[in-house]
C-alpha cells in the first residue's frame, strides 16, 4: 500500500477518505501519531504525520524507528516523504525530487540492527531514493502541473535551529542543494525495512546567507500555505495512477 509521511505543514491530506486509524506501539515505542488508512482518488493509502498531529515533536525528537515500523505493520509497501526545506541553490517555492542525501545529524537512533543478540546487517545506500517511485512522482508532478526540480542533494541537519551562513557555505561546498532536518535516519530506516522510499521537498525559505534578510517564520508559513496545496495535488495525482492490488 502506498504510504505518505507528512512533515511541517502537512498533518492531514485533504480528500483522504478515512477508513480506520492504526494506533501502533512498536518495540521501539509509539509512532508520532496513529497511522491513518483510507482512500485517495480511489486508491488505498496510508498517512502518518511525522511530527504528530498537532505538530509537537521537534526533528531530533521524532521516533523515526517507531514511525517506520508502524507504517510497515499497517501495510505500507512504499513511502513518499514530504519535507519542508531551505533552498541552497533552489528558489523558494520550488518542489524538489532529490536524488542524494548527506547526513549531518547526530545522536539519533539510525538503525534497526543495533541489537547485540541479532545479526548485523550493512545495507547498500548508494542511491537512497527508489528510482521507480521517483519516476512515478515525476509523472504525478506533470499531471498536477506543478513546476519542479529533478535531482539535487538533501543535507540533513540536526535542528531545531536553522543553520548559520557559514554552515550553509560548507553544505554548498559539499554539493548540497537543499537543507532540511528530517530526511535522516528516516530514509535509511526505510531501506533497512526494504521499503521503496522517495522524497518530495518543498523549498519554504532561502538558506542562511542566501538572501539579504532575516529568515522569519511568517515567511516560511506563507510559502507553506500555498506550497502544500501543490504538494497535496501531486500526492492525489500519484494515488490516482497507483497500481491497484
Give the integer Cα–Cα distance in Å for 155 and 85: 9
Q: Can you tell me which residue has the cell 541553490? A: 89
Cell 499531471 belongs to which residue? Answer: 143
Average pLDDT over residues 123-130: 97
Bigger pLDDT: 233 vs 10: 233
C-alpha cell at 216: 522569519
Distance CA 141, CA 138 (A): 5
pLDDT digits (tens, 9 = 90+) for 25-44: 999 999 999 999 998 878 89
What mean pLDDT is predicted for residues 49-59?
A: 85
Per-residue confidence (pLDDT) for residue 91, from 0 to 100: 93
d(CA 177, CA 149): 11
Domains identified in the chain and CATH numbers: 2-240 (3.40.50.1580)
- pLDDT of 88-97, one tens digit each? 999 999 999 9
Q: What grid cell was written down for 106?
A: 547526530
When pLDDT is cut at 50, 70 and 90, the band that residue 220 belongs to is: confident
- The mean per-residue pLDDT over the stretch 217-223 comes to 86
Distance CA 182, CA 99 (A): 16
- Taking alpha carbons only, the member of 242, 182, 200, 207 closest to residue 43 is 242
Coil, strand or helix at 77: coil
Task: Quote the cell numbers at residue 211.
Answer: 538572501
Averaged pLDDT for residues 231-243: 86
Q: What is the average pLDDT across 153-161?
A: 96
Amino acid at each position: 500500500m502506498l504510504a505518505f509521511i507528512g512533515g511541517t505543514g502537512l498533518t492531514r491530506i485533504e480528500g483522504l477518505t478515512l477508513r480506520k486509524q492504526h494506533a501502533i506501539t512498536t518495540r521501539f515505542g509509539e509512532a508520532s501519531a496513529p497511522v491513518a488508512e483510507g482512500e485517495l482518488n480511489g486508491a488505498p493509502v496510508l498517512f502518518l504525520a511525522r511530527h504528530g498531529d498537532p505538530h509537537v515533536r521537534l526533528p531530533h525528537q521524532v521516533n523515526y524507528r517507531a514511525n517506520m515500523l508502524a507504517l510497515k505493520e499497517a501495510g505500507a509497501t512504499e513511502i513518499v516523504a514530504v519535507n519542508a526545506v531551505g533552498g541552497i541553490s533552489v528558489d523558494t517555492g520550488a518542489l524538489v525530487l532529490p536524488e542524494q542525501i548527506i547526513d549531518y545529524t547526530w545522536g539519533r537512533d539510525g538503525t534497526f540492527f543495533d541489537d547485540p543478540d541479532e545479526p548485523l546487517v550493512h545495507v547498500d545506500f548508494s542511491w537512497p531514493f527508489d528510482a521507480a517511485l521517483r519516476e512515478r512522482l515525476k509523472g504525478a508532478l506533470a499531471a498536477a502541473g506543478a513546476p519542479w526540480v529533478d535531482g539535487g542533494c538533501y543535507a540533513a541537519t540536526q535542528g531545531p535551529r536553522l543553520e548559520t551562513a557559514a554552515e550553509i557555505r560548507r553544505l554548498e561546498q559539499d554539493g548540497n542543494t537543499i537543507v532540511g532536518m528530517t530526511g535522516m535516519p528516516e530514509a535509511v530506516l526505510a531501506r533497512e525495512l526494504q521499503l521503496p522510499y522517495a522524497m518530495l521537498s518543498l523549498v519554504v525559505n532561502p538558506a542562511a546567507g542566501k538572501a539579504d534578510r532575516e529568515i522569519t517564520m511568517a515567511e516560511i508559513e506563507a510559502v507553506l500555505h500555498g506550497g502544500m496545496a501543490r504538494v497535496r495535488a501531486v500526492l492525489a495525482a500519484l494515488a490516482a495512477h497507483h497500481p491497484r492490488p
